[in-house]
Amino acid sequence: MASVNLEGITKRYEDVTAVDDMTLDIEDGEFVTFVGPSGCGKSTTMETIAGLTLPTEGTIEIGGRDVTDLPPKDRGISMVFQNIALFPHMDVYDNISFGLRLRKYDQEEVDRRVEEAADIVQLEGMMDRMPKEMSGGQRQRVAIARAIVRNPDAFLMDEPLANLDAELRVHMRTQLQRLHRELDTTIIYVTHDQAQAMTMSDRIAVINSGVLQQVAPPLECYNEPANLFVAGFIGSPAMNFIQGEVVDDGFVSTYANVDFDPATQNVTAGQEITIGIRPEDIYLAENTEKAASPTKAFDAVVDVIEPVGKEINAYLLFDRDVEASAEGRGEGQLLINLAPDTDIAEGDDIQIVMDRENVHLFDRASGDAVTHSLE
């Protein structure tokens, strides 16, 4: 058990900067998830913590000890890999005990620890199986047992659930949380799946293009995203964005105007800003009372509806002339969540209101959030 501290970590390859000046303090026993789109540098960051890659600049401390120049084996960490990476020529016992045997523990101690680890991940009676005789979930549990058997200071998990099927993934997700509660060890977890990040972590570190965007508990990232990237990445379905400009009495754009006093919201007239609003914070005008502080009503046309059971996702166009973008939600398009019993059909003309308490403003030039509520 130990804290992990990154100080100014930068990793440059010949022509790309994979990780750019990352500073992050992870507390003892914390479950921190690195999340971001593929190629954002989250795996590289983890590899520098593991020692598999040396950072170009910066220092790494694990448990207060500077490990920047130590090889992986001396860092007191263990790792679970995306492709599971069990040694195919060794049986389960040999796989789990590999690290202990390398460290010359005596046989009794090895046996005791392997049994304990196998017990935690429920692998009893499979000690002499070969990896290729096991299912994906079993292999994953062996990999986890191999990681916990050495009582490391910190676990590093690099997309450990990516290769499992959907059902097993959800199951292993809860298993991992239970494991974290039981072991109370620092866990650093890498995923591109924001759902995994949201559900498991104490804190999320959102990374894009090698730059740390926000480090905060999941709900804070969701409710108070630090910038446009975090706002768009965290949450599924993603937040709606409307681009416009600040005027003397609020916000104007091609399709929607929202009134507010620029002075109280730290914006100035003429500033280019983007409004962000989550699908669940938009209501039909007839349900205005549900919004804590409704805006005035906007006209919209229903483009596509997706009933998903507990709710309906409705894709709207502000105007019949708006052409639906093929790449994600474009300008003039809007997604809202409706109650499953809403009487609505594609092509309907409807009126909607936004909840002013949950309207986010972002400065478009910097991308940074300005405010998370207009009230």
Q: Which lies closer to another protein via its Cβ, residue 165 or residue 348?
A: 165
Least distance (Å) between residue 216 CB and another protein: 29
Nearest to 229 by CA among 254, 212, 204, 245: 212
- CA-based angle 210:215:220, to the nearest 5? 135
Least distance (Å) between residue 340 CB and another protein: 44
Least distance (Å) between residue 82 CB and another protein: 7
Instruction: Write the binding mask 124 to 153 for another protein: x where contact by CB under 8 A, - elsewhere.
Output: --------xx------------x---x---
Cross-sheet strand order for the sheet of 17-26:
17-26, 4-12, 57-62, 65-66
DSSP for residue 214 = E
Least distance (Å) between residue 159 CB and another protein: 11
Q: Which lies closer to another protein via its Cβ, residue 50 or residue 234?
A: 50
Q: Which lies closer to another protein via its Cβ, residue 129 or residue 329?
A: 129
Restricted to residues 66-125, the positions that interact with another protein (CB under 8 A) are 71-73, 77-79, 81-89, 98-99, 102-103
Least distance (Å) between residue 137 CB and another protein: 17
Q: Which lies closer to another protein via its Cβ, residue 92 or residue 282?
A: 92
Q: What share of the chain is helix, strand, coil (3-state, %, to 5)?
A: 30, 30, 40
Residue with tokens 């429920």: 122
Phi-psi region of 227 (alpha: psi -120 to 50; beta: other; left: phi over 0): beta
Q: How far apart are CA 100 and CA 187, in angstroms?
A: 20
Restricted to residues 167-196, the positions that interact with another protein (CB under 8 A) are none
Stretch that binds another protein, among 29-37, 49-57, 120-128, 347-355 (CB under 8 A): 49-57
Strand partners, 79: 156
Peptide bond into 88 cis (omega under 30): no
Least distance (Å) between residue 50 CB and another protein: 6
Stretch that binds another protein, among 45-53, 110-118, 210-218, 312-320 (CB under 8 A): 45-53
Q: Which lies closer to another protein via its Cβ, residue 73 or residue 296?
A: 73
Restricted to residues 204-263, the positions that interact with another protein (CB under 8 A) are none
Least distance (Å) between residue 61 CB and another protein: 18
Considering CB under 8 A, how many residues would be counted as binding another protein? 28
Q: Which lies closer to another protein via its Cβ, residue 162 or residue 247?
A: 162
Least distance (Å) between residue 338 CB and another protein: 45
Q: Which lies closer to another protein via its Cβ, residue 86 or residue 215?
A: 86
Residue with tokens 């809860």: 174
CB 149, CB 114: distance < 8 Å: yes
Which of 22, 32, 50, 142 touches another protein (CB under 8 A)? 50
Q: How far apart are CA 145 and CA 109, in angstroms?
A: 15
Q: Which lies closer to another protein via its Cβ, residue 146 or residue 169?
A: 146
Binding to another protein by residue 65, rule CB under 8 A? no
Q: How far apart are CA 249 and CA 230, in angstroms?
A: 28
Phi-psi region of 272 (alpha: psi -120 to 50; beta: other; left: phi over 0): beta
Both tokens of residue 10? 């930068």
Phi-psi region of 266 (alpha: psi -120 to 50; beta: other; left: phi over 0): left
Instruction: Specify the 3-state DSSP secondary structure of 43.
Output: helix
C-alpha Rg value of the chain to the nearest Å: 25
Least distance (Å) between residue 88 CB and another protein: 7
CB 49, CB 186: distance < 8 Å: no
Residues that bind another protein (CB under 8 A): 47, 50-52, 71-73, 77-79, 81-89, 98-99, 102-103, 132-133, 146, 150, 156
